Structure 1
Amino acid sequence: MTLSDNDRQIATFTMLAHGIVHWFELAIPIFLVVWLEAFDVSVSLVGLIVALGYAPFGLGALPAGLLADRYGPKRLILVCLVGMSAAFATLAFAPSIYAVAASLLGWGILASIYHPAGLALISTGVEDRGTIFAWHGIAGNVGIALGPFATATLLLAFEWRVVAVMLAVPGLLACLYGLHLEFDPTAATAAEDAAAAGSRSRSAVVANTRSLFASSFLLVFVVVTFVGLYYRGVLTYLPELLHGLPAMDGVEPPVGLEELSLGDYFYVGLLVAGMAGQYVAGKLTNRVAVARGLIVTFVALGVLAVAFVPVASMGLGVILLYCAVLGFSLFAIEPFYQEAVAVYTPPDTRGLSYGYTYLGMFGLGTLSISFGGFLIDYVTVAAFFAVLSVIALIGAAVGGRLLIAPSYSATQGPETPSTD
């Protein structure tokens, strides 16, 4: 299927913004390692600070979704890009770990705008939704990979405060580019649905919320929350855990790169592998029931969680392979839950739906950061990964229930999917 000009414009805009959001997001775990030394604090305290920064990334998604339905997504995404860049740059002036927390809090509030606005834009403005979701996910993974890669590399040559300012520049450039793009944000939506999406009274929001959570969307919300718990736990602490592996200590860095952390680059390799997972899963959403995709991916993540401890004692080749498979699986689940929102909700509540989705993903999901820091500091790494495995298996069980739940058709109303 050839993409229309409108599809291409929306794809370009959302892919660029999505990459920038995750560019910032995944730079933070690399800084976490630096802040441990710079401020002489414990892993659990820094984990709590990062969690407080990440929390509004999800908690703000609900009001952002409402604003996207009322005012349109493009304006909000542009505000998001400028605001994230400004908040991240303020890290350069942080005199303490608590000032870092304030900067991260500001970043999280502004970053929360993107996902409900961007995904609502794709779901209502794009005809070839599966393809654009796939490419949108890959763009996010480009940011996810380049953010920590650029951060780790720049830290070899610059002080961390300077690096924070340098990382803010791409967000401002993306905003300037987005100002020149023009597209129809409701091109793929029926006229009556587009009109309904344009107005939101408080009573309508309450009514739509009740309707959503009385439908199959409740299961989608639970699934996404468990994705968030796993995602946040793994991606926040994996750089620090990889640093401490015996196999990493035995590698002599090249001359001139004595400060190179091999663990950081294995982490980036994991994120790069996630691009393939995004693409494959995005294409599969057009061929496989989203609930089946969720179940299979959750089970794989559960197995991978319990495999970390034995793999950690093996050689570099095995660890690298493990990181690649984990990255592929971790990001393969994203197109499935994004498509699930589009399948199980009506178009006129799409912004609200994605708002709740990312409240669960990035809001409630941050609970695994503070709890994970406690487990790593005061229990064992094995206990941390055992909890992640249980989270994944519960997610798979909820996905099984979603398999027989009624879906939504924009033209025919709720439908019960085939269980063939």
Structure 2
Amino acid sequence: MNPRLQFAFLNAGHFIDHLLPLVFATAAALVLTREWGMSYAQLIPYATPALVVFGLGALPAGWMADRWSREKMMVIFFFGIGASAMATAMADTPLTMALGLFAIGVFGSIYHPVGLAMVIQGRSQTGVPLAINGVFGNLGVACAALFTSLLIETSGWRAAFVLPGALTILLGVAYLACLRNAQRGAVQKNEEKKGSAKRPAAFTRETLVRIFFVVFASTALGGLIFQSTTFALPKVIDERLAVSVTDVGWYVFWIFALASVGQLIVGYLVDRWPVKGVFLAVVAGQCLFALVSIGSSGISAVIVSVAFILVVFGQIPINDVLIGRVASSEWRSRALAARYIVTFSVSATAIPMIAWTHTTWGFGAFFMILAGVAVAIFGFVCFLPKVEVTQA
């Protein structure tokens, strides 16, 4: 397949992979609590199993991609997550909703170890491609709140699952057709010819252990911050601005959309500057803006949220760049899978944490906890050794 066309499909897949799991977050905050007679804190834990499998499913997905076919795993992703979303629309109880979200999580777990490995393959400088791909994921987060709120007001919450699910299946049909028409083995030959960002010979075993220790520790805690902010933001805006359902969707959309530039900035910087310095600056920003968020309200809450989400999104490409530089193509999907198992398994605790802090103390304590998590990440990143940009 043409590399640019494949990159376009991968970007669309990342958009979908972040949009569909978050439809429930907005629907729960804006309508399902009233429709099912439950509080926000009672309802959102039903999404926890989906987040757990979203992480745990990454390892078998990565193993199958390395041993079988990354392209065919992406076909399964498109058809599986699309069909699961449409099935979730039939939920009429919290339990059936949890089952539908679980299916979305199973197929959604395919994307990160498989799609990101395909973005990296054949490239020596991976920061900007990963950042561009990451922006599409962020836009999926942004559009989840916007599309869901708009569809709730026009067609009901079930349409928010059916419409993107159907479009995802159509995208899967197009991707499968392109694969069948492409020259077999073109991607693999291209990688053999170009090479990839390979591990430098200077990386000792001790250095690799330190790199992966920092990657897994920072990705676990960073995943908690990412999942917490993306899931809770619609409720934060609803409480601190007291606006309509549609306005909540628009505010969340623009916050996420504007903050997406963070990945492009960081992706550009890590290809040209030492990763450690960029990483420390990003995490310091997370701590600062989390603390500022504690007392913000009204339009200031929106401005601070943009800044906070910008540095949260900015961390995303850094860990993937590090893995791309030290992992060879033969086991890169499994390395990414291990990273995302850690990320999403730990981030599954975000929903119980949101429910607990919101019920007990409110969102002020929530942001205080996130600031503390950012301080912990800063400490781990201090142990990161120097990782040079390698050429193919």
> TM-score if structure 2 supplies the norm length?
0.89
Tell me if 1:377 matches 2:368: no
1:232 aligns with 227
Written as runs of structure 1 = structure 2, the 5 A alignment for 1:243-258 is: 243-245=238-240, 248-249=241-242
Matched, 1:325 2:307: yes
Correspondence for 2:323 among 329, 341, 344: 341
- Distance between the aligned counterparts of 1:398 and 1:278, measured in 2? 21
Secondary structure in structure 2 of the residue aligned to 1:93: coil
Written as runs of structure 1 = structure 2, the 5 A alignment for 1:4-403 is: 6-33=2-29, 34-126=31-123, 129-179=126-176, 180-181=178-179, 182=182, 184-186=186-188, 189-190=191-192, 214=209, 216-245=211-240, 248-249=241-242, 260-312=245-297, 315-316=298-299, 318-402=300-384
Q: Secondary structure at the match of 2:153?
A: coil
Counterpart CA distance in 2 for 1:386 and 1:242 is 17
8 A Cα contact 2:23 2:160, kept in partner: no
Q: Which amino acid aligns with 1:136?
A: N
Return the alpha-carbon distance in structure 2 between the equivalents of residues 214 and 94 of structure 1: 45
Cα distance, 1:214–1:395 mapped onto 2, change above 3 Å: same
Aligned equivalents of 1:162, 1:11: Cα separation in 2: 29
Q: How many residues align?
A: 378
- CA 165–67 in structure 1, closer or farther in 2 if over 3 Å, else same: same
**Which digits, 9 at most, give the CA deviation of each residue in 1:338-393, with x for residues without a partner?**
11111233332201110011112222211122122111112332221111111111
Distance 2:153 2:266 in 1: 35
Please state how far the C-alpha of 1:190 moved relative to its aligned partner: 4.6
5+ unaligned residues in a row in structure 2: which ranges?
A: 197-204
Q: In structure 2, what residue type is equivalent to 1:135?
A: I
Where does residue 200 of structure 2 map in the other structure? none
Q: Distance in 2 between matches of 1:234 and 1:107?
A: 20
Distance 1:303 1:328 in 2: 12
TM-score (norm 1): 0.83
Partner deviation per Cα, 1:128-172 (whole Å, 9 max, x = no partner):
533321221122222222222111111111121233212212211
Q: Would you say the 8 A contact 1:130–1:282 is kept in 2?
A: yes
Moved more, 355-364 or 260-269: 260-269
Between stretches 370-379 and 97-106, larger displacement belongs to: 370-379
- For residues 159 and 50 of structure 1, do their structure 2 counterparts lie closer, same or farther at Cα, with a shift above 3 Å needed? same
Q: Relative to structure 1, is the Cα distance of residues 319 and 406 closer, same or farther in structure 2, using a 3 angstrom cutoff?
A: closer
Structure 1: stretches of 5+ with no match in the other structure: 195-209, 252-258, 412-420
- Summarize the Cα distance change of 1:187–1:274 in structure 2 as closer, same or farther, 3 Å threshold: farther
2:382 and 2:2 mapped to 1: Cα distance? 36
Counterpart-to-counterpart distance in 2, 1:169 and 1:89: 7
Residues 407 and 46 of structure 1: is their aligned pair in 2 closer, same or farther, counting only changes over 3 Å?
farther
Contact 1:212/1:218 (8 A) holds in 2: no
CA distance in 1, matches of 2:70, 2:315: 24
Which AA in structure 2 matches 1:100? M
Cα 1:83–1:311 shift into 2, 3 Å: same
Residue type at the aligned position of 2:7: A
Relative distance call for 1:62 and 1:408 in structure 2 (3 A) is farther
Distance 1:70 1:151 in 2: 37
Shift of residue 87 of structure 1?
Answer: 1.0
